[in-house]
Chains A and B, each alone.
Chain A
């Protein structure tokens, strides 16, 4: 058995046998506590500055952000964005209750289907689970209401994110996800969803002469519609 061979070779190198139970218990306790290490100071700021840091970092990484004050404005904001980019008013949307509850009737020209993405979809609208201010990063965990293909197949990805879901550091985004799991979110299976994507800007490559160029295999555009639902963050 290669498993035994590998483990014995490791233990031989460490000059010990299998870890005694008390030491294993200590390591299990460390994992259960999952302690944080140093969190950079840049995101340890008041809520409005944290949201501003998030927006600034998304833009630095070639994403775009539009802030709206009311959820009812989102359909029109999306319609305008698509028109501004000369894109057809059609998209595939995450079958997420928050997105489905939006007043789509207010933008009658817009057509959408709530499903996973297909190769022919030009635009996707995804539900943002969290935003991480320190690098302008979106956390997009998979679940039936948030299919992974929406993040990778379409040419343009639009993410609807609440400002109350913006946190400072990656660790805080994980905490949100851990809490969602523990609260028995019907969409979460255990702590870890099958797939958790951290997305920072649109896709790019530096493989040609080490020069970053936008528009590799993932979305060429990443647009965030930020709903200012957090009074503390305004």
Chain B
């Protein structure tokens, strides 16, 4: 499994903000996705209505998840495929390894799959003498660098073009060292040539799944590069890794969600390749895998059912929340310390890994609400992060100083007259202290807060005082 560094979020974030390469990459990337998404959404007047439909489809499916999973599995088996139900990452790793070993596999090509990151499948296969080859361009360079994705749809979000060129020169040593990468396209062409031979040699192809269709027993992948299709078509065996919440009832349900997915993700109207795979090669077919397996992974998700986090299982992994998140934009994905970064990760990671170790994540939010407003299936992400904060508080996981502060505040808040008197006095005192200047550069007891920003000097009275004055004025 991916090594968990979420407990060190604060250190990770501080390091990320001092990393000039990362900050450059974040700066380059930030605008691109936002503008393209905004344009794609503006070009589809029905987008808002589709968000409600997307939410309803997913809610309907979750309310009958057991039924749709069993239907999906039965339909996979009807066309000669095999479904492996796996409760844990360990079980799924063992299942994948056994399929590969039974096949006598030497190399395995891989399409992009966040589930495979959850499983840490690459290390597991390598430890057993099987060579996994990542074929998504972003995943490929991360494998060369032995890094994990920092974004769920753009795994190499944290890298600059210079990094690509340097790594390709370092790793592709059979090519002339002084070759010129005049354009990004040249980097792409080199990866294409390099990976072509891998696609042809692989014994097993492993992909993820964006959706599973209960009605037909199909797994669906969405890609732009075509690597997923080469991965699942050429080898003798295709393994699709999917978590249980990926299932939807029908092809029509899937179409509605697909209209939301690419627009929310890359800002395309539709991705280049959307492929539905159903079972192994049929007898008269001229190509396709001989065997088709679906590894159905739970890994903690079924425990989210019936809790305040059930709605998180609507997520279709478009990454709009992280693309629009000011915290993600400042620290990048690695700081979050596990597979899923950004707002969706801050809700999902505590659910799957435990809030004891990942409590910083739901606190790493300004609650600006942008994530919820761009979510294609309207997941109330800020509300769920607040639920995690409440659970932390209930379970005494929040630091003592913060608990004392919150306790003090709550005591005052329950005594409105006293609260108003104290705040009136406090505001007056701070205004007096700051007389003659516009803002404080530092404040006693709030050094951490003022380290990165100035506090404006309060002008006039408290909010309540002003509000009452307004009301009186309006009444006259």
Contacts and interface: CB of A to CB of B under 8 A. Distances in A.
B233 A40 contact: no
Interface string A185-221: 0010111111111111111111111111111111100
Between B49, B66, B244, B288, the greatest number of chain A beta carbons within 10 A of the residue's beta carbon is seen for B66
Given A6-B87, A209-B160, A19 B28 contact: no
Contacts of A187: 284
Interface of A: 1-3, 5-7, 9-15, 18-19, 23-24, 27, 30-31, 34-38, 40-42, 57, 61, 95, 115-117, 119, 134-135, 137, 142-144, 147-149, 151-153, 169-171, 174, 187, 189-219
A179 B88 CA distance: 41
B320 interface: no
A15 B183 CA distance: 57
B253 A37 contact: yes
Closest 10 CB pairs of A and B: A218-B226, A13-B305, A13-B306, A9-B302, A216-B225, A207-B138, A3-B85, A116-B286, A135-B270, A198-B274
User: Size band of the B side of the interface?
Assistant: 35 or more
Contacts of B233: 148-149, 152, 195
Given A27-B67, A218-B273, A142 B288 contact: yes
A144 B285 contact: yes
Interface in B52-79: 53, 57, 63-71, 73, 79
Contacts of A195: 233, 275-278, 288
Interface string B223-253: 0111101100110000000001000011111
A219 B154 contact: no
A167 to B, nearest CB: 12
Contacts of A11: 66
Contact of A197 (B135, B229, B252): B229
Interface in B141-176: 141, 154-157, 160-161, 164
B192 interface: yes
B26 to A, nearest CB: 11
Contact of A31 (B46, B230, B250): B250
28 contacts: A2-B91, A5-B298, A12-B306, A13-B310, A14-B65, A14-B66, A18-B66, A30-B249, A31-B215, A41-B46, A95-B286, A117-B287, A137-B274, A152-B229, A194-B281, A194-B282, A195-B233, A196-B218, A197-B275, A200-B271, A205-B188, A207-B155, A209-B160, A211-B32, A213-B184, A213-B188, A217-B227, A218-B225
A143 B187 CA distance: 35
Contact of B226 (A42, A61, A152, A211): A152
B229 A115 contact: no
Given A27-B249, A34-B252, A194-B277, 11 more contacts: A7-B66, A13-B303, A13-B304, A27-B67, A143-B284, A144-B286, A194-B282, A203-B273, A207-B137, A217-B196, A218-B226
Contact of B229 (A5, A143, A148, A169): A148
A118 to B, nearest CB: 9
A110 to B, nearest CB: 22
B204 interface: no
Contacts of A148: 229, 233, 287-288
Contacts of A143: 282, 284-285
Interface in B182-204: 183-185, 187-189, 192, 195-196, 199-200
A138 B72 CA distance: 26
A195 B277 CA distance: 5
A9 B302 CA distance: 6
B372 interface: no
B70 A7 contact: yes
Given A144-B285, A170-B258, A192-B218, A9 B298 contact: yes
A134 to B, nearest CB: 8
B399 to A, nearest CB: 31
Contacts of A24: 67
Contacts of B286: 95, 115-116, 144, 147, 149
B251 to A, nearest CB: 5
Contacts of B250: 30-31, 34-35
A216 B137 contact: yes
Contact of B269 (A57, A142, A192, A197): A57
Contacts of A144: 282, 284-286
Nearest to A117: B287
B50 A217 contact: no
A128 B424 CA distance: 74
B214 A31 contact: yes
A53 B273 CA distance: 19
B101 interface: no
Contacts of B252: 34-37, 171, 174
A61 B274 CA distance: 15
A199 B230 CA distance: 14
A201 B272 CA distance: 6
Given A206-B224, A213-B184, A214-B185, A38 B230 contact: no
B68 to A, nearest CB: 8
Contact of A215 (B192, B270, B298): B192
A192 B280 CA distance: 12
Contacts of A197: 229, 273-276
B57 A37 contact: yes
Contacts of B70: 7
Nearest to B160: A209
Contacts of A202: 272
B333 to A, nearest CB: 13
B86 interface: yes
Contact of B46 (A7, A38, A203, A214): A38
A159 B123 CA distance: 41
Nearest to B188: A213
B358 to A, nearest CB: 21
A137 to B, nearest CB: 6
B200 A203 contact: no
A209 B226 contact: no
Contact of B255 (A15, A174, A196, A207): A174
A13 B275 contact: no
